[in-house]
Structures are given as structure tokens and as C-alpha cells.
Amino acid sequence: MLLEKLGLPEKIINILKSGGISELNPPQALAVKKGLLEGKNLVVASPTASGKTLIAEIAVLRNFLEGGKSVYLVPLKALASEKYSDFSKYKKIGMRVAIATGDLDETDGWLGGYDLIILSNEKMDSLLRHGVPWTKDISLIISDEIHLIDDPSRGPTLEVVLTQLAGITKSQIIALSATIENSKEIAEWLDAQLVESDYRPVKLHRGVMYPGDDKYKVEFKGRKSAIPLGSEIDTSLCMDTIQKEKQTLVFVSTRRNAEAAAERISKDVKKLLSVGDRAGLKKIANDVENTLGNPTKQCRRLARTIENGAAFHHAGLVAKQRKLVEDGVKSGLIKVLAATTSLAYGLNLPAYRVAIKDTKRFSSGYGMSYIPVIDVHQMCGRAGRPKYDTEGEAILLAKSRGEAKALWERYVEGDAEPIYSKLGVERMLRIYILALVSSGYVRTRSELESFFLRTFFAKQYGDINSIAGKIERIIDELESYKFILVGDKSEFISKEFMPAFQLTQDMELRATKLGKRVSELYIDPVSANFLLSVMSEEDNAVQNLMTICQCIEMKPLLTVKKSEYEDVENELAKSDIESPDVWDVEYEDFLSSFKTALMLKEWTNESGEDMILEKFGVTPGELYSKTTNAEWVLYAASELALLLGIKEIANNINKVRLQVKHGVKEELLKLVTLKGIGRVRARRLYAAGIRTAADIKKTDEIALAKLLGPKVAKEVRQSAEQ
């Protein structure tokens, strides 16, 4: 529908037209009709690529032109970066756009000066815990991928953040969702109008593929086709797609499967590459292989597959490698991308076809089970993107006609499951009860109860009776940790002020300084209590690493294989760390914690990513994740020790934290903290007898340039002189 016919403000019409938009598609027009520009809350439930982002853009433009502040909440850092890129075009009209997804112990006061702030859900949660003042100025909240409220790890954060923001602001809330069974229920919870549509600008064909007598059969609703038998089913589909001058995204269940599929498929893909393709792919492959100082087996494997026109994508790659692969796909050079299901959310990559090879995944305690329909629909939604195609195909790969029929009934004909609140999980309740009390958002038991009655959990279950017992236990638990105080108001105020209060039986909840700091540090109260209970003045790096590896924030831990038991137990015996008896149920988890600590110690001993991959089976991406988590928990432990006045323990822990952060032995710490010096350059300087900033200042500039190169030497000297 034409913009003018929808009654949009002239300024917004002009801005949209300058970007080449003269009309809105059905869900966008429906959003306007349901109050998008009148400040009404909306839940927009429509397929991937149906134009939900433009709905958010129009709301942000309206809010900006009226002088309001907007926040855009996303579940993933990669999605935050993509949205920042999308909205940066509005800087030309004076909109100040910021992004923050990092440090969870920073108030980031500078964000208050921006008109649009793009945040991860966790970063928004952290800012609320720190009580940043500008949250009261928010007048528009965009919540992207709100259906992830169903996710056990991410969902509770989003649910609490939205409940809290709705209580402290009078913001318009625009929630964007995939098509789900109970979108109406989410709309009712948010007091929102429901904008529901099955519109998709690029027609999506969903179907199945299975081996026939002489060809692979491909069946969609209303049409059938066939592909010659020959290679494996996924390879045959990818080759057929390349011959159509299109690209394929292959979804598999594990990182190992992604690597194996990409490597296998690439052997056939290389036969169809042009001379120009080969040259471009060689450059990408070279950049990928040399991302790290010393290439790992994984780096070389990825480089080889890229040279042949395919690639794999998963969390085991470092961020720079993932970006190089994504750019290679966007450029059209990489013809096939094999990925784990995490790629189903957010990133906009051109794939005419999506092939879903694995429809089951392993989960602890349940074994192999079918992937939820909503996840498969998200994968399917990656096929056929508006910027690249007029149609797309999403194909489930089956081993037989019978399996194809079952997949058709479950995923092609089946509706996405309803989503459910995961806030009732005790660990999540514990974390957020402390957060709500420590931020001062709730001050009494009745206020705490009132908060939970406003959550999606209460909306779904009618009340909070099912978790009332847990809440009581958690309050007692937090009180026993000395993180909160429980009592009537008279216990928290001096007697001279007592007459000013009307005392009631409602018990007051107050966070102690320790409890408030635990919440700000964004760690589980159980982890914090454990850290406080085992703090020791002993300066032992392995012991400190072992301590943090027993915290839930470090999970998943490295698994100890049967072939490794003897070696790990020998190392444990040499460490003098007390362990449970071998028959204790905790013993295996303890060994996993110890193996993870050994891996971190190997990193601080300056072993390279290649050595750690070889010895521990930890990929560079996993290593980054583990060291980042370890650094954070060590930082939290150091801060807690400092708060208690145990300075020597805080210093010892902080020293290990810096070693983990930079991957160096203690002797290099004075060098790696200087700008421009990493672990390799620091070791080079140390070997040359240059061991402190003072040594750098005394070293002849020519000698320094020989060690580091002229440009780096100049930067390092400037850093040392500051």
C-alpha cells in the first residue's frame, strides 16, 4: 500500500522515499493500521523476511522525530551488529545511534546521549541492575526474536527485562516474532495489538527430498522434481543448485558434522568453479588460514574447503573467521555453507536453497530427539532472501520415502509449537530475585510477588502458586549467603525515624553491599557464595583456575575421555588439589573441571591455539569463549575479595585473570598491558632483555623497530611513555 494512503507523517514518508521505499507490504500496513504510529504496543508475528525490521524502523523514526529515546533489544551479538548497520543510515538525519553488547559490569553512562541504543538482552539487564538513570527516558522498546523467551538459557533474561521496563517506563513496546502457535498469548501479556501475517515477499517452497529408484525425488506442495543419483543426497542437491547459479545453506546438528559436510561437498563443488571464482576463493582461504598467529588444523581444513568453493560455520571459529566466511557467501564466491542451527537466527545470507540434513539432535538426559518445528521453520526462513531471490526452496533431506513422509507431516504440514516461559527454573529465579532486590526495584515480599504476577510465566499459568515455594526457599538461601536482609522496616532504619513509617506485617527485602555487588557482577549467587567460601591467600594459579571451573558460568566443561583418565588423574595427584573419592557421584564433574583448568593453564603457559586444539580438542572459537568466561569469573572473584578487604587475595586472583586474558606467563604481564603488545611481541621483547615499560623507554628506537617493526615500535614507545 502506498505510504500516502496510510496517513504516515510527511517527514517519515520523505525519509522512507529517500531510501527507495514508496509502499508498505501487508504486515507493515497492518501494523500502521493497528497503532504503530499512535504509541500502541504491537506483537508482529510473521515469517522471516516479511519486513518486520522496517516496522521497527518506522516506529524508531516516529519516536526520534518526537524527541524520544529508543532501545532495540536482540538475543545475539551478531544480530546487534547487523541491526546497527541497518539503522546507521539514519545518522544522516541526525539520529544518534549506539551499540553496546559487551562488559556487563559497566554503566556506560555515555549511552544516555543517544537516540537509539541497540543492546543485547543481557546488556540491558546489566544496565538495569546498575540502575542507569537514562532508562526512565526510554519511550520505545523494540524486542527482536521475542519467541526466544522459550529458550531456557536466554528466555528468562528477556522476560524479566521486558517486565521490568514495562514497570519503570511508559514506553511503546514493539515485539517481533516468528510465526508461533500462541502469539496471541504474548500480545495479551504485553497489552499489545497482534499483527499476524503469513505474507512473505519471496515465495518459499518447503518440501522433502529422498532417494528413488534411479533419481533423488524432490516433492513440494503442488509440484515435484528430480535430481540425478550419484553423490550423497546433500552433495547432489548442492551441485544442482550451483548449476542454477545459486547458493545452498546446509543445516546439520553438530560442529563436526558441519566440517565433514563442507569438506565432502567441496570436492565436487570445485569442479564447477570459474577461474575468477578460484582466485577470489584463494584470497579468502589465505585470510582465514592466517587469522591466528599459528594456524590450527581447523584453520587449514576451513581454508581448504573454501578454496574448493564451500565452507563451514559454527561457534568453534573465531569471530574474524566467521565474518570472512559470511562475507564470502554474500559475495557469491562461497557456493555452499554447512552450518549448525545457531545460524538460523539473525544473519541475512543469500541462499536460494536451504537443505536440512539433520532433524534430530542429542540432548543430555533425553538422547536423540526431533528438533522443534519452530527451529526448523527458522532454518527454512533462511531460503530465498528479498535482496537476492524471487523464490526460495527449503528441503528436508530423508534417507527413505517413509522418512520423507514423516518429515513432511511433522515439519511441512505441522504448526510451530507454542512457546512457554522458562522463568520457573530455580536457578533463574535465584538470579533474578537477587537482581530485583539489589536494584531496589522491589523492596518487600509483596512487591516481589507483584512483579512475578506481571511476568509471562504468571500469564501462562494464571498465578505464581507453582513457584511460590521456590521463591520462599530462594529468599532464605540468599539471606543465608548474607546477600539480602529480611525483616520489617524497623530493622533497617534508625529509631529516630521510626514514627515516619506505618509498619505492616509485609517483610522488607534489602540487598547487602555484598549482594548488590554479586548481582552487578552478573554471576549466579551460588557461584558467588562458593567463591567466597573457598578463597585462599595461597598464590596458586592452578588452584584459582580449578576454583572458577567449578562454577556454573564455566559450563559446559571439557569432557574427560576414557583414554585420558589416567593422564588427568596423574596431573591431579601432582597438583595437591583435594578431590572427591572416585566413587562419589561428583568425581566425574570434578575431573572435567580439572581438565578445563589444565587447558586454561596451558593457555597461560603461552601454548598456541594449534597446540591446545591438538592436546585438548578445543577449537579457537571455543578457546575464546572459555577464556572470556574464565576472565569474567576471575574478575568477579577479585572484586568480591576486594569488597571484603582481602587485598592480597584480590591481587593474586587478578594476576591470574590477566594471564588468562592475554595468554601469558606472569613474567610478561608488565609488557602485554601496553597498547600494541600481544603475547608474541611480549615474548620477543622479553627474550631481548626488554621487560618493562621503563626498559622500552630506554631502548634505542632502531633496535625496537628491528624487534617490532617501525610502526608498532612507535606506538609501543608512545604507550610506554604515557
Domain boundaries, the chain: 3-196, 203-412, 426-520, 525-663
Q: Which residue in this structure is represented by grid cell 533497617? A: 492
Predicted confidence (pLDDT) at residue 319 exceeds the cutoff of 60: yes
User: What interhelical angle do 587-604 and 609-616 show, nearest 10?
Assistant: 160
Closest CA to 348 of 315, 293, 387: 387
User: What mean pLDDT value characterizes the chain?
Assistant: 90
Q: What is the pLDDT of residue 494?
A: 46
Determine the Cα–Cα distance for residues 547 and 637; give it in Å rounded to an integer: 10
Position 369 scores a pLDDT of 84
Question: Angle CA(635)–CA(639)–CA(643) in degrees, nearest 5?
Answer: 170
pLDDT tens-place string over residues 673-697: 888 888 988 999 999 998 988 888 8
Task: Report CA 80 to chain centroid distance, whole Å.
Answer: 10
* Structure-block grid coordinates of residue 669: 604481564
Residue 148 has pLDDT above 70, yes or no: yes
User: Quick one: average pLDDT of 346-354?
Assistant: 81
Q: Is the pLDDT of residue 498 over 70?
A: no
The 3-class secondary structure across 312-324, one letter per residue, is EECCCCCHHHHHH
Say whether 455 sits in a helix, a strand or coil: coil
Average pLDDT over residues 638-657: 93
Match 571484603 to its residue by C-alpha cell.
644
Which pLDDT score is estimated for 174?
97
Q: Please, which residues have CB within 8 angstroms of residue 97's CB and are 6 or more apart in sequence? A: 84, 87, 88, 90, 91, 114, 115, 116, 117, 118
Look at strands 97-100 and 116-120 and give their pairing: parallel
Question: What is the reported pLDDT for 363?
Answer: 67
Q: How many CB atoms sit inside 10 A of residue 367's CB?
A: 8
pLDDT in tens, 596-606: 999 999 999 99
Considering only CA atoms, which of 48, 687, 51 is closest in space to residue 394? 48
3-state secondary structure of 187: helix
How far is Cα 90 from Cα 364, in angstroms, rounded to an integer?
46
Q: Please answer whether residues 194 and 43 qualify as being in contact, where contact means their C-beta atoms are separated by less than 8 angstroms.
A: yes
Sign of CA pseudo-dihedral 107, 110, 113, 116: negative
Contact (Cβ atoms closer than 8 angstroms) between residue 118 and residue 97: yes
The predicted structure's pLDDT at residue 496:
39
User: Is residue 365 over pLDDT 70?
Assistant: no
- Please check whether the two domains, 3-196 and 203-412, share a CATH topology: yes
Instruction: Please write the tens of the pLDDT for every residue from 179-234.
Output: 788 999 999 999 999 999 989 889 999 999 999 988 999 999 989 999 988 789 99
pLDDT digits (tens, 9 = 90+) for 52-79: 999 999 999 999 999 999 999 999 888 8
| pLDDT greater at residue 350 or residue 353 | 353
Distances from the Cα of 315 to the Cαs of 107, 560, 618, in angstroms?
Answer: 28, 21, 11
Cell numbers given for 659 = 594471564
CB atoms within 10 A of CB 700: 8
pLDDT reported for residue 581:
86
Class of domain 3-196 (CATH, top level)? alpha beta
- Residue 215 pairs with which residues in a beta bridge? 228
Q: What is the pLDDT of residues 560-590, one digit of tens each?
A: 998 888 988 888 888 888 888 888 888 899 9
> Is the pLDDT confidence value at 493 over 60?
no
Cell numbers of 547, please? 576454583
What burial class does residue 139 get, using C-beta atoms within 10 Å of its C-beta: 0-12 exposed, 13-18 middle, 19+ buried?
Answer: middle
Q: For 400-432, how does the pLDDT look when each residue is reduced to its tens digit (9 = 90+)?
A: 999 999 999 999 998 888 999 999 999 999 999
Instruction: Give kind and range of the element (H or E) at residue 248.
Output: strand 248-251
Residue 708 is predicted with a pLDDT of 86
**Is CATH 1.10.3380.20 what the domain over 525-663 is classified as, yes or no?**
yes
Residue 317 CA to residue 326 CA, distance in Å, equals: 12
Q: How much is the pLDDT for 366? A: 61
Q: Partners of 361 in the beta sheet?
A: 369
Burial 345-359 (b: 16+ CB within 10 A, else e): bbbbbbbbbbbbbbb
Angstrom CA distances, 717 to 195, 311, 373, 670, 682, stand at: 59, 41, 58, 14, 13
Asked if the 426-520 domain carries CATH number 1.10.3380.30, the reply is yes
Q: What is the pLDDT at residue 346?
A: 60
Q: What is the pLDDT of residue 532?
A: 93
Q: What is the pLDDT of residue 539?
A: 66
* 244 CB neighbour count, 10 Å cutoff: 10
CATH H-level superfamily of 203-412: P-loop containing nucleotide triphosphate hydrolases (3.40.50.300)
Please spell the DSSP secondary structure of 118-140, one letter per residue.
Answer: EEEHHHHHHHHHTT-GGGGGEEE
Cβ proximity of 173 and 139 under 8 Å: no
